[in-house]
Every structure is written in C-alpha cells, then in structure tokens.
Amino acid sequence: MYNHIDGINVIATKSGLFMTLRDFYKERGVRLFDVVPDTYMINVECKSPAEFEKKDRQLEEFMRSVPYDSIWILKPGENTNRG
C-alpha cells in the first residue's frame, strides 16, 4: 500500500493543504478563518540552544494568551512518523 503521491505536497502535507486553502480563499476575497478553523504552524527547528529557548518562550507567551479551557488538536510536524 502506498500512501504518498510524489509532487502533490500542496495537498498531501498538513502545511501544504493549509497554504493552498489560504491562497485559494485569498484569491476569492473570502476570509480564510470564516471557512477553516484557526490553524497555527509552529516551526521549532532550531540551530542552537539559544534559538530553541527563544521559540519556547514565544510559544509559552502565545499559550498564556488563549483561554484555559480551549480545546487544541496537536499534530506532529513535517517529516515526522516516517518510520
């Protein structure tokens, strides 16, 4: 069984699908988040411990800004769960 088709990352990855939908609705003058749930792509690739600490602080600040009882669906990023 093969679950990947080469060359269609615009819909085959979570970030690709999000960016494709964003561009699609922007071209039509439709607000993306009127149609799609709030979506956040968090890139945590870091080249140094200091860079990681900075991104970690930014994520903590963001998480403090949302209501405590919010429901979140977290999914692994690109190139994860590849076996």
Determine, yes or no, domain membership for 39: yes
Determine, yes or no, domain membership for 36: yes
What tens digit of pLDDT does each residue of 18-76 get?
Answer: 888 999 999 999 998 898 887 776 666 778 888 888 888 887 888 888 888 877 776 66
- For residue 46, give its domain range: 9-64
26-36 as b/e, with b when 16 or more CB fall inside 10 Å?
Answer: eeeeeeeeeee
Task: Give one word for 76, left, alpha or beta, with left for phi > 0 and alpha for psi -120 to 50.
Answer: beta
Has residue 2 got a pLDDT over 70?
Answer: no
Determine, yes or no, domain membership for 51: yes
The structure tokens listed for 40 are 């956040």
Picking from 7, 21, 12, the residue whose alpha carbon sits closest to that of residue 79 is: 12
Determine, yes or no, domain membership for 46: yes
Determine, yes or no, domain membership for 20: yes
Count of domains in the chain? 1
Does this model's pTM top 0.85? My answer is no
Determine, yes or no, domain membership for 31: yes
Determine, yes or no, domain membership for 75: no
Determine, yes or no, domain membership for 80: no
pLDDT at 83: 47
